[in-house]
Structure 1
Amino acid sequence: MAQENQVPEDIAPINTPFDMAEVERPSFPDRTFDIRDYGAQQMQGENPFENTDAIHKAIEAAHQAGGGKVLIPKGEWLSAPIHLKSNINLHVAEGATVYFSTDKEDYLPVVRQRHEGVEAYNYSPMIYAYKLNNVAVTGKGALDAQGDHWWEWAEGKDFGERTEVTKVPLSRRAYGKGAGLEGMRPNFLIFWKSEDILVEGITLKDSPMWNVHLVYSNRAIVRDVTVNSLRAPNGDGVVLDSASDVLVEYNHFQTGDDAVVLKSGVNEEALKLDIPTQNIVVRNFEARNVRTGSGGIVFGSETSGGIRNVYVHDAYFEGSDRGIRFKTERGRGNVIENIYIRDIEMKDIDSQAINFNTYYSGPGLTGPSPLIRNIDIRNIQIDGVPEPIVLMGLPEKWLENINLQDIRVINAEEGARITRVKNLTMKNVEISSNTRAMIVDDTYELTLDNVTLTDNTEGAELLLEGEYTGAISIGNMTLNQVEFGEEVSENIIREN
């Protein structure tokens, strides 16, 4: 589990249940470009010097020389957005803090980005990497977005319906600052269609919204990053958005939304692009006090490009709204598949520990239905949660091939709730709850193998209901522990 352990200097080999290329830190020429040599000055007095030009001069000099380290040394520095170039390592030294401007005019002209799954032109992020190769943001220093002014400014503003604008080309899209709309907050760091990326060691504070956002980017490492965005609306920690071959490890999250989240765009635009998030490893991390309906590791809700081949292991979630979460809905379409999750400890979760929700915005939507299949979750310890396991498929697209193994739940208010799942295996699972330990509705091919259910009710621990429920194996349980709903007969129980 990722707790207070020392982060190893070397990156351990990546062993995955699927084929994935090794990712390595990008390398840079051994040249340092100190921003002070280009006119940078530390913050002093009521009108501190803004160092944007000095930082960009250092970046340009390093780029012209063939690359190198652009050093932001110890001290406090004020800057507007920083736009990186290829072969640049922006190094924020230990003891350095960069405060980003609170003047919104400094974030113009608009730049291309993906705002909650929809491409748009909008205010620049604090750090922007556009179609770059070999690029890094490193160091033990801090970046402070001073997001308060963004949050206050965006409150109550209507900047358009994102799912509607996916129906028209970007050039005719009335969406974002360039279209005259206000209210869309920028992200902290965006890497757009970039490759060979490293974000390591830094601390991010008070982002306008999402923090580290990789869009259409490949071969990236995000490690030993501390994100504190508890006060930020939509303050997601690391967002992998139609990204491939990414390692995320040894990170620490206290976020105002999901800690680590995998996305791939929404509706028509993303379905047409069809760029999945794939070949991802997330390991050795912790998420504490992750708020506003979010989770420690999350898939969705923007899933229209698909998500596949993901390996998550060794994590600790405490005081978070949710733990492991899959969220999508009609209109998103595509497939979430081949997801492997191992060795996670959760304590004092506020809502669900393991949650599959295919009705994220409600049941009334239309459009292509998403499919979630081939999910393998093992060795999960859950202590303190209202709802430990909630699996909910769509009537027309049930969840398929779900394996839950070596899971222990204690101090749960309710039991597991299973709805519209085909081929669900639960092995070595213990659930202890106040209300009925498990309710299964419209589930076909359910195999219980060494499942222990205990609750504080006087009736049977397992309720089977729904006209499509069938092919149930209860393993070591007895029929006395099973209650059958009106549409279910004992004939659905298979021989062990």
Structure 2
Amino acid sequence: MNFFFASPAALALLLTSPGATAADQPRPNLPAVKAPSFRADTLSILKFGAVSDGLTKSPAIQQAIDAAAKAGGGVVLVPRGHWLTAPIELRSNVNLHLATGAFVQFSNQRADYHLIKTSWEGVDAVRNQAQIYGKDLTNFAITGRGVFDGDGGTWRIVKKSKLTESQWKRLVESGGVTNEKKDTWYPSASSLKGAAIPEAFYLKPGKEVKDYEDIKDFLRPDMLVLERCKQLMLEGVTFQNSPAWSLHPIMSEDITVRGVTVLNPEYGQNTDAIDLESCKNGLVEGCTFDVGDDGICIKSGRDEQGRKRGMPTENFIIRDTKVYHAHGGFVIGSEMSGGARNIYAYNLTFMGTDVGLRFKAARGRGGVVENIFINNVNMKNIVAQAVIFDLYYMAKDPVALVGESAAPPVIKAEPVNEGTPQFRHIDIRNITCDGADVGIMLRGLPEMPLRDIVIENAVLQSDKGLVCIEAENIRLKNVTLLSKNTMPVMEVQNSKDITLDGIKYAPGATLLMRVTGDRAKNVKLANTDTKAAKKDLEFGDKVSKKTVTISKL
């Protein structure tokens, strides 16, 4: 069997981080990612009558793709210029190449799009077909240095609170409609009608695609969807202004995404950069993402449908990538019902994201997320948590709204069943964060704690330090929690077998650690200067002082 290893340069970076040694670094040992290859034959879209004026909508790109495929494959060249097109479909054995300066603009005429049965947010759905679509394809690519623009404003709903007063005024004057409260803008009455229907995009039993025509404008297309495809590559291209999710490979394998840029407005709802859903064997490297929803997102279906599909996202390396505005920098979930495993993420930078490393699920999801290795992550100006594991995700958004309590909800135990999610065997090393609300938040379920999580070599500057709820076998080593709110630096609730080794914090902290909950057990504090705090420990009701053992420096 062939194996794919990180490059020598990447491994050198892994092994030269502060505190890292060759012995304690997990190394990617995954199946080789099969790259596509193509005939040298090249077809220019100019041969098919394309006009570079940004005004003349032409089928030339699609015609060139079809002609190349019919001839056995090759390269379709989109030269420098401004090209207007309706949605396109990719073909096997074809490399769609955008030259430097090529700007492909997708039509803003909603009639150019048609509804299809598909999957979105992990369930069977009806949506407008993606602007770039491929299904059951093998050996294909999109390469070059050009730009795809999805004209997302044609489709997106916009909340008044997301814009300045002048921006809102211009938007309303541009057309469309607003709701009764005048606080949300919709591009059309059809869009407004769809928004009033709970989970309108679901393909409900007894319904057909044609039954959704009256809310068609609400069912935004993704920019790129690749369904059940193999041996594909996205390289060098910029994807911007997507109506919804930007890059969505689903149930596909042998995926290479290299040097890609995704740009969407910060207010753009559901404009994830890349969603790898139920995919197998891949590499994402050297990318830049700045979007209105999650940046790098791992998914595998939602609830019963996801469990029935039973296809985890597995065997991926994600490296050398920057994420600017996004809900989460690197995210697993919340639609992870098919599971996720064997994922290596390293050399990542997050700047201004709501959350840095985000693992989320909820009761009803089911699925197992395991064997996740994260190394060398630098974060700055994180709005909420630098690191969060949350199995109670649907209970509270990580970014509290104005006037909303930030206190965690009270969680009651429920029976374990196939809908109980599990996160375990996760290793995070060598991370920094300059500015966050919470450094580390771990929140499992009373019936299914978070398990076997290691966080080692971290320096986190945040308002609050550690919050650990319903967790088991958690190990923090050489972690610096420079929290402004030192009452306490660390909160441990209903958790057991917790090891806090070599914890550093700002001198003069009011309280180092509070332990609460009648299920708290076996909390170890080692190699930590407890005397630097005004008070070292505080216990809740029914918590024995023997719950915590302190090993002196």
* TM-score normalised by the chain length of structure 1: 0.90
Alignment of 1:251-270 (within 5 A): 251-270=287-306
Structure 2 counterpart SS, 1:408: strand
TM superposition shift of 1:486: 1.9
Alignment of 1:8-157 (within 5 A): 12=7, 17=27, 19-43=29-53, 48-52=55-59, 54-108=60-114, 110-151=115-156, 152-153=186-187, 154=191, 157=194
Query: Which string of whole-angstrom CA distances, capped at 9 and with x for unpartnered residues, describes residues 314-345 of structure 1?
Result: 01111111100011101101111111111001
Query: Which string of whole-angstrom CA distances, capped at 9 and with x for unpartnered residues, describes residues 337-373 of structure 1?
Result: 1111110011111111101111221279987110111
Out of 420, 445, 452, the position equivalent to 1:401 is 452
Instruction: Return the letter of the residue paired with 1:316.
Output: T
Distance 1:163 1:206, change over 3 A: closer
Q: Which residue of 2 aligns with 1:416?
A: 466
Out of 168, 191, 210, the position equivalent to 2:245 is 210
2:537 counterpart of 1:482: yes
* Distance of 1:124 and 1:406 partners within structure 2: 45
Higher mean C-alpha deviation, range 417-426 or range 224-233:
224-233
* Distance of 2:127 and 2:271 partners within structure 1: 18
Asked if 2 retains the 8 angstrom alpha-carbon contact of 1:185 and 1:208, the reply is yes
Instruction: Return the letter of the residue paired with 2:250.
Output: V
Q: Which residue of 2 aligns with 1:439?
A: 491
TM superposition shift of 1:271: 1.1
Structure 2 counterpart SS, 1:269: helix
Out of 423, 432, 437, the position equivalent to 1:381 is 432
Asked if 2 retains the 8 angstrom alpha-carbon contact of 1:63 and 1:87, the reply is yes
Alignment of 1:332-343 (within 5 A): 332-343=365-376
* Distance of 1:22 and 1:105 partners within structure 2: 42
TM superposition shift of 1:248: 0.7
Asked if 1 retains the 8 angstrom alpha-carbon contact of 2:323 and 2:351, the reply is yes
Q: Which residue of 1 aligns with 2:516?
A: 465
Q: Which residue of 1 aligns with 2:401?
A: none
Asked if 2 retains the 8 angstrom alpha-carbon contact of 1:254 and 1:287, the reply is yes
* Distance of 1:147 and 1:112 partners within structure 2: 21
* Distance of 1:146 and 1:392 partners within structure 2: 39
Instruction: Return the letter of the residue paired with 1:406.
Output: N
Instruction: Return the letter of the residue paired with 2:320.
Output: N
Query: Which string of whole-angstrom CA distances, capped at 9 and with x for unpartnered residues, describes residues 210-230 of structure 1?
Result: 111010000001111111112
2:262 counterpart of 1:227: yes
Distance 1:456 1:438, change over 3 A: same
TM superposition shift of 1:25: 2.9
Asked if 1 retains the 8 angstrom alpha-carbon contact of 2:392 and 2:445, the reply is yes
* Distance of 2:350 and 2:379 partners within structure 1: 5
Q: Which residue of 2 aligns with 1:6?
A: none
Asked if 2 retains the 8 angstrom alpha-carbon contact of 1:455 and 1:461, the reply is no
TM superposition shift of 1:236: 0.5
Query: Which string of whole-angstrom CA distances, capped at 9 and with x for unpartnered residues, describes residues 98-138 of structure 1?
Result: 00001111112x33432111122321111001110001111
- Any gaps of 5 or more consecutive residues in structure 1? 1-10
Out of 274, 278, 285, the position equivalent to 1:249 is 285
2:227 counterpart of 1:185: no
Identity across aligned pairs (percent)?
Answer: 35
Q: Which residue of 2 aligns with 1:3?
A: none
* Distance of 1:352 and 1:155 partners within structure 2: 33
TM superposition shift of 1:20: 1.5
Structure 2 counterpart SS, 1:361: helix
Asked if 1 retains the 8 angstrom alpha-carbon contact of 2:126 and 2:212, the reply is yes
Alignment of 1:314-393 (within 5 A): 314-362=347-395, 368-393=419-444
* Distance of 1:467 and 1:285 partners within structure 2: 43
* TM-score normalised by the chain length of structure 2: 0.81
TM superposition shift of 1:160: 5.0
Asked if 2 retains the 8 angstrom alpha-carbon contact of 1:176 and 1:184, the reply is no
Q: Which residue of 2 aligns with 1:454?
A: 506
Structure 2 counterpart SS, 1:62: helix
Distance 1:163 1:299, change over 3 A: farther
Q: Which residue of 1 aligns with 2:172?
A: none
CA RMSD of aligned residues (A): 2.3
Query: Which string of whole-angstrom CA distances, capped at 9 and with x for unpartnered residues, describes residues 35-84 of structure 1?
Result: 1101111125xxx22122x2222112111111001111100000000101
* Distance of 1:161 and 1:274 partners within structure 2: 26
* Distance of 1:118 and 1:341 partners within structure 2: 29
Query: Which string of whole-angstrom CA distances, capped at 9 and with x for unpartnered residues, describes residues 20-43 of structure 1?
Result: 112143110001010110111112
Structure 1 counterpart SS, 2:293: coil
TM superposition shift of 1:163: 10
* Distance of 1:429 and 1:297 partners within structure 2: 20
Aligned pairs, number: 473
Asked if 2 retains the 8 angstrom alpha-carbon contact of 1:311 and 1:339, the reply is yes
TM superposition shift of 1:180: 5.1
Higher mean C-alpha deviation, range 148-157 or range 30-39:
148-157
TM superposition shift of 1:472: 1.5
Structure 2 counterpart SS, 1:331: coil
* Distance of 1:93 and 1:195 partners within structure 2: 24
Structure 1 counterpart SS, 2:502: strand
TM superposition shift of 1:286: 0.5
Structure 1 counterpart SS, 2:394: coil
Asked if 1 retains the 8 angstrom alpha-carbon contact of 2:413 and 2:447, the reply is no
Higher mean C-alpha deviation, range 204-213 or range 11-20:
11-20
Instruction: Return the letter of the residue paired with 1:144.
Output: D
